[in-house]
Amino acid sequence: MATEIQEIDLKTDEMIINMGPQHPATHGVLRLLLTLDGETVKHTEPVLGHLHRGQEWQGQNRTWFQYQALIDRVDYLSGMFTSWAMARACEEIDGTVVPPRAEYLRVMVSEMNRITSHLLWLGTYLIDLGAMFGFPFYPFREREKLFDLFEEIAGQRMMFNYIRIGGVVRDPKPEWLDKLKRFLDEFPDRIDEYETIVTQNPIFLKRTKDVGILTQAVAKDYGVTGPCIRSSGIPLDLRRTKPYSVYPELKFDVITFDKEGDTWDRYMARILEMRQSIEIIRQCIDKLPSGDIMGKKQMAGMRIKAGEGFSAVESPRGILGCYVISGGGEKALRFRWRNPSFCNLAILPELLKGCPLSDIMAIFGSIDVILPDVDR
Amino acid sequence: MSQGNMSTSAKPNTNPVVPEEIRDSVSISSIDFMIDALGQMLSPVLSPVANLARSNSVWPMTFGTSCCAIEMISVGMSAFDISRFGSEVFRATPRQADMIITAGTITRKMAPALITLYEQMPEPKYVIAMGACTITGGMFNDSYSVVQGVDRIIPVDVFLPGCPPRPEGILDALLKLQQKIRTENYADRRKKLYAQTSVRKVDYDTGRPLEDLIGVVQEDTNAALSSGQEAIGDVAKGISPKAEEAKTVATKPVAPKVEVAKPEVTSPEAKKVENTKDEAAEKADDKSV
Amino acid sequence: MTDEKPSEAEKPEEKKAEAAKPEAAKPADAAKPADAAKPAAPAAAAPKPAAKAPEPVIPATAGKFEQFLKEHGIPSERLPLSLTIETIAVSGDVLQSALRLLRNSSEVQLDLLLTVSGVESNDTFDSVYHLWSYSNLDELVIKVLVKKSDVPEGDLPAVPSIANFWSAANWHERETYDLMGIRYANHPYMRRILNPWDWEGYPLRRDYKQLVDSLNDKNPHSMR
Amino acid sequence: MFSNGDEIFKISRLTIVWLAGIFTIVWMVCWGLGIALPMLLTSQLGDKAALTNEILRAATPVIAILVFIPINAMFMVLIERRALALWTVRKGPNRVGPDGNFQTAADAVKLLLKEDITPTGADAVMHTFAPILFFAPSVFGAVPLLAAVTNNHPLFHVLNLPTGIFFVLAAGALPVVALVMAGWASNNKYSLVGGLRSAAQAISYEIPLVLSLITVCLMAGTLDLVKITEQQAGGILNWNLLGGGALTGLNNALAGGGAKALATSYFMGPISYVCAGLLVISLIISFWLYLTGACAEINRIPFDLPEAESELVSGYNTEYSGMKFAIFFLAEFTNLFVVSSITTVMFLGGGDNPIPPYILNNIPGIPQMVAAIRDSYFCSTLHIINPETFFATLWVIAKVYGLVIFAVLIRGTLPRFRIDQLMAFGWKRLIPLSLIVFIIVVFAREFVICHG
């Protein structure tokens, strides 16, 4: 005797919540138009452009020399990578030969920058998850130490303008390398500290495990790159799969997880990347050759030969590409950025479908989006 | 954050031309009027107390758009520690904040949000314009989408230059702001309760100032656009009208300057009238640093 | 933007621009925002530096992907633009089929669409697709060239959208529409993405003129 | 560079100064109104003052609480900020007044003088009454606790209810109505979601919370807070935390009763011992259940979903500013204090000394000190305080603020739950667990003579 269960159709209304552009969890100025059924997300529409500053327009209206000072602002958490992408694109067109010492220095500072970027991500991600009064302070402590090193070598805390077309701009002193080594010695212990607090924390596991699962098919369809896709099991790391600069001479492996990644995997991928970066910097310090650091004269009227080039680097957020068309003059004809955040953010509506309101922050934070990188 | 959530109701001195949804969305509860009279009376006694309390507990809002926001986070962290000055209580909602640090470039699309946030903050409210972008537009000075100076849309108390400013700079700006707050008069500050709105409103859908747009709506759209395009690099107009002028500017019929073929010729005259008022307003307006 | 006016005149691309727009023969003006209106007289007088600029040498043989597309009956043409990366031009009609083929065929597997960019050159609007692969090292640049002369007055250059089968292109196409004014036909949501929704003009075009109002008019502190 | 020891010293100094200040002020108010003034009136007017004295005595506790709550909240906010700073390698507020002592006073004055906004479209009456309704229960709900925490001081006899704990719980359940009101009246969707979340959360976590307290009441056999406290007197082994009196036999044996005392309490031999062990485990679980439920009840991390800052901006108080927000702020910390006090009374023996008297009285100097205090001018003549109340209050302060600091530490450590996980945790874990504990206690206490 099976009793028939009658489904009563209760009338409910969907609620539209406007999250952002000013919201503590949107990392700046993203605006999400959420259609909620209770606390379940039905539909998401991201509204971008609240930080659209016309970076590509600037590229066409600034000289090469001026613009390379500006592009640290494209992705302010990893300014070295934006500089590097532009420098590589211009060098490719121009045929500039970069001295090996400069290449090693580029790798070193970039990996340092990757660490600072991931540290900031770690802090803000835990804020997103609600641990806003304790943990986030610890990653920032180490971040400040790296910033001191950056300041010493580049003159600025965040906007380095250190990697230039043709090389790097300043040669570090030996003491700087010593300081860096000291930092590298103590930093693994700090990562252990973070992991002690976070990795196996039951609430953290509950919030991140099996949340925001990114399947390979969806990821490929949207062109997702970076730690997001590596944690989904696709070993796409430009440093290994399409090595540039001196990465072929350095020993490290691509970090992937052999399954479909959830937010916890994305967290873990970044933790492992920080450890990996330490090893890469160590190798660079050991192998650092002597010699020149600049292959092209830096001056206000600098020119790049005519032609077009595309170059990409593996930034902390994914493949950061730079498409440059030069007419041979002092300015570019067209600058086009391929920003990892912009492409990775596109999967957000896909990931948010059917998840509860609180998971928006867990998922959105795990993609690691920087809004100037999205809006330019 | 919460614009669009609140319905609006009529305010006594709002011009009917201003669309419903962008009107000031707050009202003051009636008890304030009683306090007002009392405050006038007790001002000499209250001022020192109020200033001490206000200057020592400036709660910032978590408003950050770009690079400067990261330095704003840094200043709350261990190395710089804004908590020593009692300002580590970053409130997410404008209703509970005293100060807004406009950390990062303000674009035309973001400007309406910033204006709303500013107007949602309860008096006394202070603004620190942080970074070159918010002071003049900075490196993006000539970009098509950047508001060149946040003082064009909201009144600013302290300007903090740098790109981005160091965290020590923020602490310095905070101390300057505290000094400024200590010179205030309680009764004078209370008078600003209703007047301290934004300098001008910006339309979200077109990214243009509302004062222009009202004229456009009344007159011909195309004429307005052509006038906007021809005005490139032309007459240097005065700096934005200040707080007290906001409402009158918004309501001023800007239409006449649109209907003429070369509107920027007529606009300086119209502007001049405003500018004289501006100067008076500017004198009254408080700007330190 | 320092004193580089004489050297600016030597830019080869500007000369081309002048050729396209002879009416822009105004005296030099430092405050001009776009490249479009450049001084004509000094440029005409200057020697031809374009000859000095080394033209990229392309191999005479057709590239790998050009061959591949030809085998499948899709006409394409290799462009002499880059030494390292193969750049081919296809017409708008066959764009969708070409991209479908390149993405799904097991031989090439160009399944990572990096960007869709809009480029305005002297006489064309280009929609440029950078294709990479998740599994191999191949890269390819596909260009769809729309002649300016073909674009009707008051209309936008049109290119077929690929967003319906390749989600990665969705936002890129919207952005290109927003900034460059290339309309992607049959795009599911062709709306401005970065600028405000009712924005006027396409900022990256050469003839774009900035809107100047009280938010960005000249102030005494401006560096311009 | 940063010296941790220095900072710890400063925080301890700050704590001692503040606590001494707070309780001196409050006690002087109590003494002045409840003891000194009636004594004076009686000496002057004789019998005519009887009615006045009664009224004064009745009003004393309420006035004391009203004086106590704002100062205490200021101190708790300050200590929270300083303690969080200590654990995150910072300094914390140290500019206002000596060593930042008046930081929260400045905050309070600022909030009071700030513009008070009612959003247009909001329900102005509800919007105004919500903070008051949120705050009021923490005032009158705390009243029955007074007698329990002051070792049943004569001033607070009046307020002791036979069903004290139920009154406290009933008062503690009220604020949720205020939160829903605040959320609904604000005309803001974030507020609304926050208010509804708080309703769901409070209702779910009320059950394990009440069940864990019922377990204690079952062990005690009474609902009277004073009696529950008195039962626990006599050292840590008597506390409800450790078996709710199941170890009293052991305590008596250690006190000198020997094997006879053991046999009296654990009359069934091995079964009794097993049951005593079960009771100890059950009551420790109950204690943990209560702490968890209370954390959820007062919206502390990891259960602060109603005002989840990174999700709902500020939750139910998003649209509150100035004085109304200050009241919310005040009530939040007062609730934390009340909850800690309940924990102290119900589980930690109230004002009881953890060291049993048979050890304490053998320490040279202690009994003499107590006697000296009792015979002093303050106690014997002015009746300012008697040593029992004095020491009881000291221990209560230590325990309550220890729990407060523990809550702050949790706040600085844990992330936040998700709402469905929160509900699942409440309904699927805590409620079954508390029921199981309750049933175990029902049966196990039959085989042990508790509190005897």
In sequence order, what DSSP letters do the residues of chain B get, joined into one string? Answer: --TTTS-----TT--TTS-GGGS--EEE-THHHHHHHHHHHHHHHHHHHHHHHHHH--PEE--B-SHHHHHHHHHHSTTT-GGGGT----BSSGGG-SEEEEES--BTTTHHHHHHHHHHSPSS-EEEEESHHHHT-GGGTT-TTB-S-GGGTS--SEEE-SSSPPHHHHHHHHHHHHHHHHT--HHHHHHHHHH---S--B-TTT-SBHHHHHHHHHS-HHHHHHHHHHTTT-S-PPPPP-GGGHHHHHHS--THHHHSSSHHHHHHHHHHHHHHHHHHHHHHS----
> Is residue C191 a part of any domain in this protein?
no
pLDDT on residue D11: 86
Identify all chain B residues contacting D103, using CB atoms and an 8 Å cutoff. 56-57, 86
Query: For residue D20, how many other CB atoms are within 10 A of its CB?
Result: 11
On whether both C17 and C101 belong to a single domain, the answer is no
One-letter amino acid at A185 equals: D
The tens digit of pLDDT for each residue in C107-122 reads 778 888 888 888 888 8
C-alpha dist (Å) from residue D43 to A150, D36, D51: 79, 11, 14
Chains within contact range of chain C (3+ C-beta pairs < 8 Å): A, B
Q: What pLDDT band is residue B34 in, cutting at 50, 70 and 90?
A: low
Compute the nearest-CA separation of D91 from chain A (Å): 13
Mean pLDDT over residues C151-171, rounded?
85
pLDDT on residue C19: 40
> Is residue B201 a part of any domain in this protein?
no
pLDDT on residue B192: 64
On whether both C98 and C174 belong to a single domain, the answer is yes
Return phi, psi of residue B2, to 5°.
-115, 15
Mean pLDDT over residues B100-122, rounded?
86
Q: What pLDDT band is residue C223 in, cutting at 50, 70 and 90?
A: very low
Mean pLDDT over residues A325-352, rounded?
87
CA D304 – CA A132 distance, rounded (Å)? 12
* Stronger pLDDT, D255 or A189, i.e. the higher one: A189
Mean pLDDT over residues B144-164, rounded?
86
CB within 8 Å: C196 and B206? yes
Of B167, B195, B223, the one marking the end of a domain is: B195
pLDDT on residue B238: 31
* H or E element that contains A222: helix A216-222
Q: What pLDDT band is residue A326 in, cutting at 50, 70 and 90?
A: confident
On whether both B177 and B218 belong to a single domain, the answer is no
CB within 8 Å: B122 and D116? yes
* Stronger pLDDT, D181 or A4, i.e. the higher one: D181
> Is residue A10 a part of any domain in this protein?
no
CA D72 – CA D79 distance, rounded (Å)? 10
Measured between CA atoms, the residue of chain B closest to residue C33 is B142
On whether both C166 and C93 belong to a single domain, the answer is yes
Which residues constitute the domain of residue A105?
Answer: 15-375
Chains within contact range of chain A (3+ C-beta pairs < 8 Å): B, C, D
Q: Is A296:A166 a contact under the CB 8 Å cutoff?
A: yes
Mean pLDDT over residues A192-204, rounded?
87
pLDDT on residue D436: 92
Record the pTM. Answer: 0.82
CB within 8 Å: B207 and C33? no
Q: What pLDDT band is residue D39 in, cutting at 50, 70 and 90?
A: confident
Q: Is A197:A230 a contact under the CB 8 Å cutoff?
A: no
Does residue D174 surpass a pLDDT of 70? yes
Judged by a CB distance cut-off of 8 A, whether residue A18 touches chain B is yes
If one counts the domains in chain A, the total is: 1
Bridge partner list, C127: C118, C144
The tens digit of pLDDT for each residue in D109-124 reads 888 888 777 777 777 7
Angle at D175 between CA D174 and CA D178, to 5 degrees: 110
On whether both C73 and C18 belong to a single domain, the answer is no
Exposed / middle / buried, residue D413 (Cβ in 10 Å: 0-12, 13-18, 19+) = middle
Distance, CA of A290 to chain centre? 30
pLDDT on residue D432: 92
Judged by a CB distance cut-off of 8 A, whether residue B63 touches chain A is yes
Mean pLDDT over residues B97-109, rounded?
88
C-alpha dist (Å) from residue A335 to A93, D110, D333: 13, 51, 55
Does residue C84 surpass a pLDDT of 80? no
> Is residue B4 a part of any domain in this protein?
no
Judged by a CB distance cut-off of 8 A, whether residue D193 touches chain A is yes
Kindly give, in sequence order, each residue whose CB lies less than 8 Å from that of residue B146, ignoring residues fewer than 6 positions away: A53, A54, B105, B106, B107, B108, B133, B137, B140, C216
* Stronger pLDDT, C187 or D46, i.e. the higher one: C187
On whether both C74 and C178 belong to a single domain, the answer is yes
CA B62 – CA B99 distance, rounded (Å)? 10
The tens digit of pLDDT for each residue in D194-239 reads 888 888 888 888 889 889 988 888 888 888 888 888 888 878 888 8
Query: For residue B148, how many other CB atoms are within 10 A of its CB?
Result: 26
**Which B residues, 19 through 78, put their C-beta within 8 Å of a C-beta on chain D?**
25-29, 31-32, 46, 49-50, 52-54, 56-57, 77-78
> Is residue C174 a part of any domain in this protein?
yes
For residue A362, the domain's CATH number is 1.10.645.10
Pick the range with the lowest mean pLDDT from C174-178, D162-166, D250-254: D250-254
Does residue A239 surpass a pLDDT of 50? yes
On whether both C31 and C118 belong to a single domain, the answer is no
Q: Nearest Cβ partner of A330 from C7, C139, C196?
A: C7
Of B172, B195, B218, the one marking the end of a domain is: B195
One-letter amino acid at D430 equals: L
Compute the nearest-CA separation of B120 from chain D (Å): 9
On whether both C130 and C41 belong to a single domain, the answer is no
CB within 8 Å: B78 and A50? no
By percentage, how much of chain D surpasses pLDDT 70? 98
The tens digit of pLDDT for each residue in D56-106 reads 878 888 888 888 888 888 899 999 888 888 888 888 888 888 888 888 888
On whether both B49 and B74 belong to a single domain, the answer is yes
> Is residue A3 a part of any domain in this protein?
no
Best probe of the A interface among D80, D198, D413, D414, by most A CBs < 10 A, is: D414
* Stronger pLDDT, D134 or B193, i.e. the higher one: D134
Q: Looking at this predicted complex, what is its ipTM?
A: 0.84
Best probe of the A interface among C115, C205, C223, by most A CBs < 10 A, is: C115
CA dihedral B55, B59, B65, B69 (to 10 degrees): 80
> Is residue A6 a part of any domain in this protein?
no
Q: Do chains D and C touch (3 or more CB pairs under 8 A)?
A: no
pLDDT on residue D152: 72
> Is residue C223 a part of any domain in this protein?
no
> Is residue C202 a part of any domain in this protein?
no
Helix axes B67-76, B167-182, angle to 10 degrees: 80
CA D333 – CA D69 distance, rounded (Å)? 9
CB within 8 Å: C214 and B148? no
Per DSSP, D404 falls in state H
DSSP D55-109: HHHHHHHHHHHHHHHHHHHHHHHHHHHHHHHHHTT---S-SSSGGGTTHHHHHHH
Mean pLDDT over residues C135-149, rounded?
84
Kindly give, in sequence order, each residue whose CB lies less than 8 Å from that of residue C184, ignoring residues fewer than 6 positions away: C127, C158, C159, C160, C161, C163, C173, C176, C177, C190
CA dihedral D290, D329, D15, D157 (to 10 degrees): -60
Mean pLDDT over residues D395-415, rounded?
88
Kindly give, in sequence order, each residue whose CB lies less than 8 Å from that of residue D424, ignoring residues fewer than 6 positions away: none
Identify all chain C residues contacting A333, using CB atoms and an 8 Å cutoff. 13, 35, 119, 121
CA A326 – CA C121 distance, rounded (Å)? 11
Query: For residue B41, how many other CB atoms are within 10 A of its CB?
Result: 11
Per DSSP, A331 falls in state B
Of B259-263, C59-63, C76-80, D370-374, where does the model show the most confidence?
A: D370-374
Does residue B245 surpass a pLDDT of 60? no
Cα–Cα nearest to D436, from D156, D126, D187, D212: D212
Mean pLDDT over residues C94-105, rounded?
84
CB within 8 Å: B232 and C216? no
Which residues constitute the domain of residue B78?
Answer: 20-195
On whether both C113 and C26 belong to a single domain, the answer is no
Judged by a CB distance cut-off of 8 A, whether residue C123 touches chain A is no
Q: Is D410:D300 a contact under the CB 8 Å cutoff?
A: yes
CB within 8 Å: A330 and C203? no
* Stronger pLDDT, D3 or A16, i.e. the higher one: A16
Residue D100, sorted as left (phi over 0), alpha (psi -120 to 50) or beta, turns out to be left
DSSP A102-120: HHHHHHHHHHHHHHHHHHH
Return phi, psi of residue C31, to 5°.
-90, 5
pLDDT on residue C59: 52
Judged by a CB distance cut-off of 8 A, whether residue A133 touches chain D is yes
CA C164 – CA C96 distance, rounded (Å)? 10
If one counts the domains in chain C, the total is: 2
Pick the range with the lowest mean pLDDT from A40-49, D96-105, D263-272: D263-272
Does residue C13 surpass a pLDDT of 50? no
Best probe of the A interface among C88, C116, C120, C167, by most A CBs < 10 A, is: C167
Pick the range with the lowest mean pLDDT from A130-144, A262-276, A278-292, B229-243: B229-243
Mean pLDDT over residues A96-125, rounded?
89
Kindly give, in sequence order, each residue whose CB lies less than 8 Å from that of residue B40, ignoring residues fewer than 6 positions away: B187, B190
Reading the block at residue B76, the tokens are 């709350």
On whether both C70 and C155 belong to a single domain, the answer is yes
> Is residue A362 a part of any domain in this protein?
yes
For residue C147, the domain's CATH number is 3.30.460.80
On whether both B47 and B172 belong to a single domain, the answer is yes
Measured between CA atoms, the residue of chain B closest to residue D307 is B92
CA A311 – CA A326 distance, rounded (Å)? 14
Chains within contact range of chain B (3+ C-beta pairs < 8 Å): A, C, D
On whether both B40 and B137 belong to a single domain, the answer is yes
Tokens 């950078």 -> residue: C130
Angle at D159 between CA D155 and CA D165, to 5 degrees: 135
Does residue B188 surpass a pLDDT of 80? no
The tens digit of pLDDT for each residue in D307-359 reads 777 777 888 888 888 888 888 888 888 888 888 988 888 888 888 888 887 88
On whether both B186 and B148 belong to a single domain, the answer is yes
Reading the block at residue A225, the tokens are 């790159």
Which residues constitute the domain of residue C107?
Answer: 64-185
Using DSSP's 3-state secondary structure scheme, residue C123 falls into: coil
Judged by a CB distance cut-off of 8 A, whether residue D84 touches chain A is yes
Of B135, B164, B195, the one marking the end of a domain is: B195
CB within 8 Å: B107 and A50? yes
Compute the nearest-CA separation of A25 from chain B (Å): 10
CA A234 – CA A221 distance, rounded (Å)? 13
Q: Is C172:C120 a contact under the CB 8 Å cutoff?
A: no
The tens digit of pLDDT for each residue in B212-244 reads 777 655 555 445 444 444 333 333 333 333 333
Reading the block at residue A261, the tokens are 């990644």
For residue B167, the domain's CATH number is 3.40.50.12280
On whether both C164 and C123 belong to a single domain, the answer is yes
